[in-house]
Structure 1
Amino acid sequence: MKRLLPTSTAGSLPKPSWLAQPETLWSPWKLQGDELADGKQDALRLSLHEQQRAGIDIVSDGEQSRQHFVTTFIEHLDGVDFKRRETVKIRDRYDASVPTVVGAVSRHKPVFVDDARFLRQQTEQPIKWALPGPMTMVDTLYDSHYKSREKLAWEFARLLNQEARELEAAGVDIIQFDEPAFNVFFDEVNDWGIAALERAIEGLQCETAVHICYGYGIKANTDWKKGLGTQWRQYEEIFPRLQTSSVDLISLECHNAHVPMELIELVRGKKVMVGAIDVATNVIETPEEVADTLRKALEFVEAEKLYPCTNCGMAPLAREVARGKLNALSAGADIVRRELLGER
């Protein structure tokens, strides 16, 4: 029997201090060569162990082998020059120096497949793997070749589909595409963003997810949120179209967000990964706070389709904070699970 309210994380977990600088996003590696390769695998084992100790049901690699959730994938592609940097505004929020697309993009070898195969060897639990979504990849680059966000997105979707099919063959149960850009470029999302995402998941037999959040707890994101008012209704712009897509799971931010819970009704019928852990604070939720968020979500999604999750990745947090939040997520889900099953 499939477990009710299976828990998971949105993606990243903190890296150990011997691998990268703690509490720092996109920190450079502290190891090199074979030591770095071994260190990444050791960190993956640690990350898996911490998820298992906390009782997380659907486990991941914690993104231990990646510096950045988007550019680590792009680094392995041809057609992008990381030495040619341009400053662009990421998701209409903050300026960043990014690499340049200088020619046709192509993928000459798998990027994460060996890591996924390694994770698969470590556990019999369901595993989820995160990839950047096509639109968010486009939004993290300067394009001097295609001169069209849509054309570049379709090319990335094709390459992501190649990677996703090989991840599925390596034993991944859920492939998640991270699309924070979906919360910003509504017209593009509905015109071609979701269509490009559909191209990325084409032919997959495993479950697919799209993760749409309000970002890590960094200043640029928290400042942006302050200007969004008392109700964050961005999901309202894109959920109707996602509801008719072939994506299986929708991952969204809920806890401590000003997202009206009733917006989940717009994706009725989909499985929903409800963010019940706030990643923008060091305050560790109580199990009852997690349970309360899940109870509210259950008004708009069937229990069989509710997947308790974190709002976003936890890479910038201290390891003990992330550990506490994982424990709270698991304990809070267990409270509601027992209520649903009529247990004390």
Structure 2
Amino acid sequence: MKILLPTSTAGSLPKPSWLAEPEVLWSPWKLSGDALVDGKHDALKVSLHEQQQAGVDIVSDGEQTRQHFVTTFIEHLDGVDFENRKNVRIRNRYDASVPTVVGPVARKAPVFVEDAKFLRAQTDKPIKWALPGPMTMIDTLYDDHYKSREKLAWEFAKILNQEAKELEAAGVNIIQFDEPAFNVFFDEVNDWGIACLERAIEGLKCETAVHICYGYGIKANTDWKKTLGSEWRQYEEVFPKLQQSNIDIISLECHNSRVPIELLALIRGKKVMVGAIDVATDDIETPEEVANTLREALKYVDADKLYPSTNCGLAPLSRDVARAKLNALAQGAAIVRAELNA
């Protein structure tokens, strides 16, 4: 039986303290070699257990097997030099030392497929796997080869499509592409960004999602949000074209953000993953607060197309806080589900 309002997370969950530094985003691993492989799999099992205990319906690996949502994928590709780093501006917000594209990019072997098979073997629930989107990948690199953001994005789209097809074959039900860059580079998104994303999902039979958020609760992001005024209307720029695209699900940030909820009308007909949990605060939402966010969204999204979720990843939070937020998400969705079924 298909569940109404199936809950999920947008991506990462906190890592156990024996695997990486708690409450630190993109922390280095504490293990190495075979111990690291085992440690990642143990962390994945713990993360899965916590999602299931909370009552999350569509589960993920919690990104336990990767250090960074973009570079962990890129470091498995040919053509990228991690020793030769350059400082670049990420999403027009903060500077970071990033690897350099020095030759043609190519995927010599699957990146996450074995981890996805491992997750699939642990649960009967639907599973979701996140990949970085092409535009967010090019924004996390210095390109010294193609000298064109668009050309590099198309190459990444082909590589992502190869990976996505193998993830689908491994039993993944939803493949989500993380594209926070879609909230920044509007002209590029509409000129070629959405077309690149469609190249990445070409030929897939599983469900596909694009996750567009305002970022983790790190200082560079929260400072940027303060400049956006009383209404965050970035989605208005990209939703019309996304509504026409082949992507099945659009994942966005709602709770505690200043996104006018009526912007959801621009993607009517699509499935919508509504962020009902704020990842930039330790305050735990009440189930009723979650339910209110979902009720507002239901004014613009059909009930059978609403997927309650988190605004973004929960990695920088403590495990206790993350667990409590997942509980609130599931309980809030249950309240609204009962109302709809009444």
What's the CA shift string for 1:190-246, capped at 9, x where partnerless? 000000000000000000000000000000000000000000000000000000000
Per-residue Cα deviation, 1:112-133 (whole angstroms, up to 9, x for no partner)? 0000000000000000000000
The one-letter code matched in structure 2 to 1:224 is W
1:136-193 alpha-carbon deviations (Å, 9 max, x no partner): 0000000000000000000000000000000000000000000000000000000000
Amino acid at match of 1:335: I
Aligned equivalents of 2:182 and 2:278: distance in 1? Answer: 20
AA aligned to 1:301 is V
Q: Within 2, Cα distance between the matches of 1:119 and 1:95?
A: 34
Q: Distance in 2 between matches of 1:83 and 1:255?
A: 40
CA RMSD of aligned residues (A): 0.3
**What does residue range 244-263 of structure 1 map to in structure 2 within 5 Å?**
244-263=244-263
Counterpart Cα distance in 2 of 1:315 and 1:84? 28
AA of the residue aligned to 2:255? H
The 2-side partners of 1:136 and 1:108 are apart by 21
Deviations 1:91-117 (A, max 9, x none): 000000000000000000000000000
The CA distance in 1 between the partners of 2:66 and 2:338, in whole Å, is 37
Alignment partners' CA distance in 1, 2:284 and 2:97 = 33
* Structure 2 portions without partners, runs of 5+: none
**What is the one-letter code of the residue matched to 2:218?**
I
Number of the residue aligned with 2:178 = 178
Q: Secondary structure at the match of 2:147?
A: coil
What secondary structure, in the 3-state scheme, does the structure 1 residue paired with 2:150 have? helix
What is the match of residue 128 of structure 1? 128
Give the Cα separation in 2 of the matches to 1:296 and 1:154: 37
**2:63 matched to 1:63?**
yes
Question: What's the offset of the Cα at 1:320?
Answer: 0.2
Q: Which residue of 2 aligns with 1:4?
A: 4
User: Pairwise mapping of residues 89-104 of structure 1 onto structure 2 (< 5 A)?
Assistant: 89-104=89-104
Q: Which SS does the other structure have where 1:36 is aligned?
A: helix
Tell me which residue corresponds to 1:105: 105
Equivalent runs, 1:1-80 vs 2, <5 Å: 1-80=1-80
1:298 equivalent in alignment to 2:272: no
Q: Which residue of 2 aligns with 1:217?
A: 217
Quote how far apart the aligned CAs of 1:88 are: 0.5
Tell me the SS of whatever aligns to 1:81: strand
Deviation at 1:29, TM superposition (A): 0.3
Deviation at 1:84, TM superposition (A): 0.5
C-alpha distance in structure 2 between counterparts of 1:215 and 1:85, whole Å: 23
1:227-242 paired onto structure 2 within 5 Å: 227-242=227-242
**Matched residue SS, 1:217:** coil
> Post-superposition shift, 1:44?
0.1
The one-letter code sitting in structure 1 at the alignment partner of 2:271 is K
Q: State how far apart, in whole Å, the 1-side matches of 2:336 and 2:26 are.
A: 35
Instruction: Give the distance between the partners of 2:139 and 2:102, measured in 1 at CA.
Output: 15
Aligned to 2:288: 288
Runs ≥4 residues deviating over 2 A? none
Counterpart residue type for residue 129 of structure 1: W
**What is the TM-score when the length of structure 1 is the normalising length?**
0.99
